[in-house]
Amino acid sequence: MSAVVEAVCVSGEHAFSKESVESATVLDGLGLQGDAHAGVTVQHLFRMAKDPTTPNLRQVHLMHAELHDELRAAGHPVHAGSLGENLTTRGIALLELPTGAHLRVGSSVVLEVTGLRNPCWQIDEFSPGLLRLVLRKEADGTVVRRAGVMAVVLEGGEVRPGDAIEVELPDGPRAPLQPV
């Protein structure tokens, strides 16, 4: 199966969920036009309170639709954008990508994967019990985060559902994703 964008979601407010749209303009070095998390510096409210000058490594949030399928099967009412992602993908193992992987989306957009989304307690406010399905600790103490990846915009353009996604892995040693 080819990797594709299943949904594009935006919210102009710092709300937990985002609304699906037919298309969005992705702005170089910023994120999705009209989205509250777009910007050169950090736009996440908690992180802004700590240091508003920090570079924004979370311009675009991507989540795999296969996770939505799994969570719905477990009884949680998730759909595209409900967990705050901008791009819902299908057919790509987002969590297995290395830091610095490039995603070519549609005809012109290029994103660089910066790290893992670190899910927080708000997920349980959306649907009780959901946090333990997207954040868990293995027997050896390793923390597993499954709530998608974050990226920055290298090249902008239009993005819409159905757009193909191509992965370009970085040259040399590949660093595993860490929370950003």
Alpha-carbon distance of 169 to 31, in angstroms, equals: 21
pTM greater than 0.85: yes
If you search the block for the tokens 């920055």, which residue do you land on? Answer: 152
Which pLDDT does position 160 carry in this prediction?
98
Amino acid at residue number 128: P
Per-residue confidence band for 47, with pLDDT thresholds at 50, 70 and 90: confident
Alpha-carbon distance of 101 to 177, in angstroms, equals: 10
pLDDT per residue as tens digits for the range 56-111: 999 999 999 999 999 999 999 999 999 999 999 999 999 999 999 999 999 999 99
CA 48 to centroid of chain Cα atoms: 19
- Residue 4 reports pLDDT greater than 80: yes
DSSP at 169: P
Q: Which residue has the higher pLDDT, 122 or 97?
A: 97
Contacts of 161 (CB under 8 A, 6+ apart): 4, 5, 6, 7, 8, 22
Local structure of 153: helix, strand or coil:
strand
Alpha-carbon distance of 30 to 53, in angstroms, equals: 14
- Across the range 34-41, mean pLDDT stands at 96
Amino acid at residue number 28: D
Closest CA to 64 of 45, 80, 44, 46: 80
Per-residue confidence band for 49, with pLDDT thresholds at 50, 70 and 90: confident
